[in-house]
Amino acid sequence: MERLETGVYGLDELLAGGLPKGRMILVSGACGTGKSIFSMQFIYKGALDYDEPGVFVTFDEMPEKIRQDMLQFGWNIKELEEQEKMAIIDATSARAGTPSEEENAILPGQFDLDRIIVEILSVARKINAKRIVIDSVPAMAFRLENANEIRRAVLKIAYMVARSGMTAIITSEVEEQSLSSGQSIKFSKYEVEEYVADGVIMLNFLGVGSQATRTMYIRKMRGTKHSLEIHPLEITDKGMEIRKIEEVFG
């Protein structure tokens, strides 16, 4: 199986070289665990270091804020956009029902998954994208009322990814949960995302306050021999890095 470097430092070696190419991976966790940074690093490093253009579809955060926030890691997103190595599609304004000032945007009143997919594929074709991110499934599905509609929406995204040959990350949310509580763990908001996805990466906090450690573990990755450990995760001024437990506590 061909693999795609994630661009997240320290992660690829835990994944036998990277994500399986052409597959859809779920990155899930509570708020603030780093799902958006993880996904943006996949797109940004993919474009910069691996010459693989990528599309970042944002339903949660406005593109201008993302560009600004990512500057703290030294990532000049605007530059890569100008070189057509990456593109951000703004789905936040359409969600709010207001027009967007972005070059790539879903129009207000067109917040419909089929139209969104058409827009994604058209932008992807324009920059010859190999990578795509949907951030996030709950924000994309916010209008959908029942489990069936949501399941169908997630499946549609999965089919789009499969047909396009791109490698995808979708993000979802779960409540903060304790890995050791003995209660059954949730992997995503709607509990369908993890079944449709070929891989699941969970981001977490261990402990609270200043003693808290960010963690990451790979819950599944089809076709891949992967690490089963819980790994410390750090967000530094260069971006996200996965560590080994013995490096941090050893």
Ligand X SMILES: Nc1ncnc2c1ncn2[C@@H]1O[C@H](COP(=O)(O)OP(=O)(O)OP(=O)(O)O)[C@@H](O)[C@H]1O
The verdict on 36 binding Mg ion (CB under 5 A) reads yes
Token readout for 231 is 């790994």
Residue 37 binds ligand X, judged by CB under 6 A: yes
The span from the CA of 75 to the CA of 82, in Å, is 14
**Residue 36 or 204 having the CB closest to Mg ion:** 36
Query: Where does the chain have alpha helices with state H?
Result: 35-49, 63-70, 77-82, 92-96, 113-127, 137-140, 147-164, 193-196, 245-249
The stretch among 34-42, 46-54, 76-84, 104-112 that binds ligand X (CB under 6 A) is 34-42
Q: Choose the one of ligand X, Mg ion, none that binds residue 34, judging by a C-beta under 5 to 8 angstroms depending on kind.
A: ligand X
39: contact with Mg ion by CB under 5 A = no
The CA R_g of the chain, rounded to the nearest whole Å, is 17
Distance CA 56, CA 81 (A): 11
C-beta atoms surrounding 113 within 10 Å: 18
C-alpha angle with apex 34: 160 to 178, nearest 5 degrees?
Answer: 105
Site for ligand X in 58-97 (CB under 6 A): 60, 72
Which C-beta is closer to ligand X: that of 145 or that of 237?
Answer: 237
Q: How far is the CB of 105 from ligand X (least distance, A)?
A: 20
C-alpha span between 180 and 5 (Å, rounded): 31
Most distant CA atoms of the chain, gap in Å: 55
Confirm or reject binding of residue 8 to ligand X (CB under 6 A).
no
Report the partner that residue 164 touches, choosing among Mg ion, ligand X, none (CB closer than 5 to 8 A by kind): none
Closer of 116 and 203 to ligand X (Cβ): 203
| Residue closer to ligand X, measured from CB, 15 or 174 | 174
Q: How far apart are CA 28 and CA 35, in angstroms?
A: 7
Q: Which of 177, 235, 241, 244 binds ligand X (CB under 6 A)?
A: 235
Contact between 35 and ligand X (CB under 6 A)?
yes
Q: Could you list the residues that contact Mg ion (CB under 5 A)?
A: 35-36
Q: Could you list the residues that contact ligand X (CB under 6 A)?
A: 29, 31-37, 60, 72, 173, 235, 237
